[in-house]
Amino acid sequence: MNIDRRDFLHIAAALGLMGASGGRLHAAKRADEIKADDIMDFDPVGKVSILHICDLHAHLKPLYWREPSTLISAKNLVGTPGFLCGEAFLEFYGIKPNTLEAYFDTYLNFEELAKKFGKMGGVAHMKTIIDEVRRDRGADNVLLLDSGDTWQGTAVALKTRGEAIVDAQNYLGVDVMVGHWEFTYGKERVQELIGKLNGDFISQNVVDNDPFSDNFEETVFEPYTIKEVGGAKIGIVGQSFPFTSTANPKRFTEGWSFGLRLDTLQGYVDELRKEKKVDCVILLSHDGFSVDQAIAQKVHGIDFILSGHTHDPGPRPITINGTTIIIAGSHGKFVGRLDLDIQKGRVKDFRYKLIPVASDLIPADKKGIELVDRWYRPYDKELSQVIGTTKGTLYKRDTFYSTFDALIGEAIRDKMDCEIAFTPGYRWGTTLLPGDDILVDNVYEMTAITYPEVYTFELQGSRIAALLEDIADNVFNANPLYQQGGDMSRLTGVSYDIKVNAPAGKRISNLKINGKPLDPNRSYVVSAWGGNLQSAGKNLRESKIEPVYDVVTNYVKKSGKIDVSSKSNVRILDYECGCPRKGGVC
C-alpha cells in the first residue's frame, strides 16, 4: 500500500513542491509564503496516529544538518531507498529543487537554502508539532515512538550521562523506544536512565548471555509492548541495533548478546497476532533502512517498520511483501506522522507525512526553551566559547570524506605527531556554514562519546591494507544484512583508489601514505579514536592518550581560521549514483 495519491499531492502543494497541476494550492508557494500551517497540513484517516522520531543524537537545540553529497553502495543497492542522494533523491521522490523539502532532504544548494529557510529541529519546535497532532486527534489516539540513537551526540548528553536527553524525551512524551548508542553509557547507567524514562524501552534481540546470571538466555528488556490507541490494539516489537557489541566496545554490554534474531522476531510477531489478537503489528527498529527492507522480505506479519540508524529521510513510505517501512531522518529534523484506519482487526488504510521541523517557521514551545536552558546553564561558559571560524562549510555526511572529519584528522596529526590518523565513519554531528564561529559545543557535537581517547600505536602496512578492505566490505557488501550502517572510516595522511563493486578483499588499490606507496612490511605510526583499532597494532604509547574533543578544541584555538579542503583523498573508480536521468552514472 502506498501513500494516498491525493494526500501526497496535497502535501507537495503545501510545501511549494509543485505548480498548478494536481495540487490543492493553485500555485507553488515561495519560501517567504510558507507558514507553519502549510507544514502541518494533513488529511487525516482513521482514529490512530503514530508519530515517529529517530537518531536525534541528543540535539536539543536547532541546528544545520546537511545531507550527504555521495551515498555510494554496491551496484544492486544503488538507486534504491536508502542509497539515494542529491538529484537522484529529488528525482526518485518527485521533489522540486530549491524548495523547503529539497533543503531538508539533500545537500543541493545547501548554503543558499540555509539562509532562506534557517535552522532545523530543536525539541521545543518538535513539541509544537507533536502537541498539535495530539490536540487535533486527541491525546489518547496518538503514540510517539523513538527508534533510538537518542541519548548520545552532544556535550550536554555526555556531561549529564544521558539524563538531560531522557528529560527531553519525557517532555516530548515518548511512549516507546529502542537503542544503540544508548548502550555506550554502560549497562548500569542504561538501566538507571530507563528507570527515569516515562515510556517503555523494548528489545527482542538483546539477550542475557552471562552463564552465571539468573536470567541466562532471556531477553534483557521486554521484547514487545501492546498499546490501546484509538480503540485499537497496537503490538510494538523492539529491535535495537543488532551489531552493538561489535560496532562499540564490548565492555559496555559485557554479558549481553545482540543480533538480528529473525527467528525470535517472527515468533513474537506470531504471538502478537495469534495469542494477543492485536489489530496492528509495528516493528520499532534501529536496524537501518536497508536492513529493514531485507527483514520485510524474511519476516511475515509486520504491518509497519519504523526504521532508524542510517539517518535517511523517507518522504514516502515503501512497501515490501505487505510490510510498509518508514524512516524519519535524523538530528530532530523531522517528525513522521502515520495515520491508521483500523477496522475489523486489520489496517484498512493509512496516510503518511514526513514533517520537516523548520524551526524558523514552527514556533517554539516555551517549556521546551526553558528545559534546554536549564540543562545547558551549568556548561554555558565552556560550551559557548568561540574558538575559531570556518572559511568553508564544515559538514559530516559523505561516503568517504567530509570536511569536519578532515579537521579532526588534521588536529590529531598535529597533536600526536603521527603519520596516519583514523576517524570512524560516524554519521552524527552538525554542520557549520561559511563564516560561522566554531564553538566548543560544535566540537563536542562531532566527538561526544564515552570512549573519546585518541591512541597512538604502530601498525604494519599490510595490516592497514587489510583493515581498509574489511571496513569496505562492511560498508559496500551487496547483502544489506551484512552492512552495519556507517560510512567509510576517514584517514588523514592516506590516499587510495577503490572499486566498490570489486570482490571482497580486492576493492582498494594505489594505497599511499603521505604521497608514497604503502610498504606492507613497514610499521607506521597511527593515531585513532572511537574504536578498538589500537588492538590491531603494537607498542601502544600510553603517554599519548588524550580525549579527542580536547585535541580538536586546542587545534582550532591555535589555528583561528579553519580552511579545510573539500577535495576527497579517495578516488572512486566505479562510482554509480543511482540517478535514473543519467543512467546511474554521474
pLDDT score at 483: 78
Strands 142-146 and 570-572: unpaired
Task: Tell me if 412 sits within 8 A of 454, measured CB to CB.
Answer: yes
Percent of the residues in the chain that have a pLDDT greater than 70, as a whole number: 90
What the block records as the C-alpha cell of 518 is: 604503502
Nearest to 280 by CA among 272, 268, 271, 288: 272
Asked whether residue 484 falls in the same domain as residue 358, the answer is no
Percent of the residues in the chain that have a pLDDT greater than 90, as a whole number: 83
pLDDT at 481 over 90: no
Q: Is residue 76 part of a domain?
A: no
Instruction: Give dist(CA 381, CA 100) in Å, integer.
Output: 34
Residue 441 has phi, psi (to 5 degrees) of: -60, -40
Residues 196-223 pLDDT 10s: 999 999 999 999 998 888 889 999 999 9
Task: Tell me if 318 sits within 8 A of 81, measured CB to CB.
Answer: yes
pLDDT score at 482: 83
Mean pLDDT lowest for which of 62-76, 343-357, 527-541? Answer: 527-541
**Section 368-372 average pLDDT:** 98
- Which letter, b or e, does each residue of 184-196 get, where b requires 16 or more Cβ atoms within 10 Å of its Cβ? bbeeebbeebbee
Residues 116-172 pLDDT 10s: 999 999 999 999 999 999 999 999 999 999 999 999 999 999 999 999 999 999 999
In this structure, the number of other CB atoms found within 10 A of the CB of residue 501 comes to: 17
CA–CA distance from 401 to each of 2, 418, 425, 547 (Å)? 35, 20, 9, 22
- Give strand pairing partners of 538: 458
Helix and strand numbers (H, E) in the chain are 18, 26
Q: Using the structure block, give the residue that is written with the C-alpha cell 538529484.
A: 87
Q: Is residue 286 part of a domain?
A: yes
pLDDT score at 30: 56
Asked whether residue 480 falls in the same domain as residue 546, the answer is yes
In this structure, the number of other CB atoms found within 10 A of the CB of residue 493 comes to: 22
pLDDT score at 268: 98
Q: Is residue 317 part of a domain?
A: yes
Given CA atoms 574, 578, 583, 585 in this order, what sign does their dihedral have? negative
Mean pLDDT of the chain: 91
Q: Quick one: which H or E segment has residue 371?
A: helix 366-376
CA–CA distance from 55 to each of 216, 287, 326, 373 (Å)? 30, 12, 14, 22
Q: Is residue 68 part of a domain?
A: no
What is the CATH number for 502? 3.90.780.10
- Indicate the SS3 state at residue 217: coil
Which domain covers residue 433, as residue numbers? 384-582
pLDDT score at 163: 98
Asked whether residue 389 falls in the same domain as residue 247, the answer is no
What pLDDT band is residue 574 in, cutting at 50, 70 and 90? Answer: confident
pLDDT at 542 over 60: no
Nearest to 452 by CA among 393, 485, 411, 396: 411
pLDDT at 543 over 60: no
Asked whether residue 285 falls in the same domain as residue 318, the answer is yes
In this structure, the number of other CB atoms found within 10 A of the CB of residue 255 comes to: 16
Q: What is the total count of domains within the chain?
A: 3
Q: Is residue 101 part of a domain?
A: no
pLDDT score at 27: 34
- Indicate the SS3 state at residue 280: strand
**Section 20-32 average pLDDT:** 38
Asked whether residue 366 falls in the same domain as residue 442, the answer is no
Residues 248-275 pLDDT 10s: 999 999 999 999 999 999 999 999 999 9
Task: Tell me if 120 sits within 8 A of 328, measured CB to CB.
Answer: no
What pLDDT band is residue 531 in, cutting at 50, 70 and 90? Answer: confident
- SS3 of 378-417: HHHHHHCCEEEEECCCECCCCCCCCHHHHHHHHHHHHHHC
Residues 406-439 pLDDT 10s: 999 999 999 999 999 999 999 999 999 999 999 9
Asked whether residue 349 falls in the same domain as residue 479, the answer is no
Instruction: Give dist(CA 108, CA 105) in Å, integer.
Output: 9
Asked whether residue 7 falls in the same domain as residue 136, the answer is no
pLDDT score at 95: 94
* Distance, C-alpha 288 to centroid of its chain: 9
Give the end-to-end CA distance of the chain in Å, rounded to a whole number. Answer: 32
**E strands present in 263-322:** 280-285, 304-307, 318-320
Domain endpoint, select from 347, 371, 395: 371
pLDDT at 470 over 80: yes
Residues 495-522 pLDDT 10s: 999 999 999 999 999 999 999 999 999 9
Asked whether residue 302 falls in the same domain as residue 158, the answer is yes
Asked whether residue 155 falls in the same domain as residue 287, the answer is yes
Instruction: Give dist(CA 383, CA 60) in Å, integer.
Output: 14
Residues 278-328 pLDDT 10s: 999 999 999 999 999 999 999 999 999 999 999 999 999 999 999 999 999
Nearest to 122 by CA among 69, 63, 71: 63
Domain endpoint, select from 371, 402, 436: 371
* Distance, C-alpha 262 to centroid of its chain: 23
Q: Is residue 502 part of a domain?
A: yes
Asked whether residue 347 falls in the same domain as residue 259, the answer is yes
Asked whether residue 447 falls in the same domain as residue 397, the answer is yes
- Indicate the SS3 state at residue 338: strand
pLDDT at 8 over 60: no
pLDDT score at 78: 86
Residue 449 has phi, psi (to 5 degrees) of: -130, 165
What is the CATH number for 142? 3.60.21.10
Task: Tell me if 245 sits within 8 A of 257, measured CB to CB.
Answer: yes
Residues 242-254 pLDDT 10s: 999 988 999 999 9
Asked whether residue 265 falls in the same domain as residue 388, the answer is no
Task: Tell me if 496 sits within 8 A of 510, measured CB to CB.
Answer: yes
Q: Is residue 53 part of a domain?
A: yes
pLDDT at 493 over 90: yes
Q: Quick one: which H or E segment has residue 237?
A: strand 232-239
List % helix, strand, coil for the chain (3-state, nearest 5).
35, 25, 45
Q: Is residue 114 part of a domain?
A: no
